[in-house]
Amino acid sequence: TQLLEQSPQFLSIQEGENLTVYCNSSSVFSSLQWYRQEPGEGPVLLVTVVTGGEVKKLKRLTFQFGDARKDSSLHITAAQPGDTGLYLCAGGVRNDYKLSFGAGTTVTVRA
């Protein structure tokens, strides 16, 4: 099982500030997903990145896949209280349909 390390574990910021969450591994992934999970619910997919160096934007969220496909980052610009939640990265390997999850980053955006 490939290990994914997320940092930081917890992040608390004021509304309007920017934040970045990191997801790192020593393994190469064919794809990397970012999910958001609310308490008592299942992970909800935000984005999938598959190409080294790929950058995807989803409104105020920017996702980047490292050139070597071993790491990824999630950047939120001008965070809002609605961005509060647990952000999970998960990596997949070609021809192996299971995902390896990071431990998650709990983001709290204070109004």
Partner 1 sequence: EPEVTQTPSHQVTQMGQEVILRCVPISNHLYFYWYRQILGQKVEFLVSFYNNEISEKSEIFDDQFSVERPDGSNFTLKIRSTKLEDSAMYFCARDSFSGANVLTFGAGSRLTVL
Residues that bind partner 1 (CB under 8 A): 1, 30-31, 33, 35, 40-45, 48, 50, 88, 90-93, 96-104
Residue whose pair of structure tokens reads 């990145």 in the numeric block: 49
Token pair, residue 15, equals 């509304």
**Beta carbon nearer to partner 1, 35 or 63:** 35
**Beta carbon nearer to partner 1, 20 or 48:** 48
Distance in Å, CB of 15 to partner 1, minimum? 27
Distance in Å, CB of 30 to partner 1, minimum? 7
Q: How far apart are CA 5 and CA 25, in angstroms?
A: 6
Q: How far is CA 100 from CA 18, 79, 106, in A?
A: 27, 27, 18
Q: How far apart are CA 47 and CA 42, in angstroms?
A: 15
Distance in Å, CB of 16 to partner 1, minimum? 30
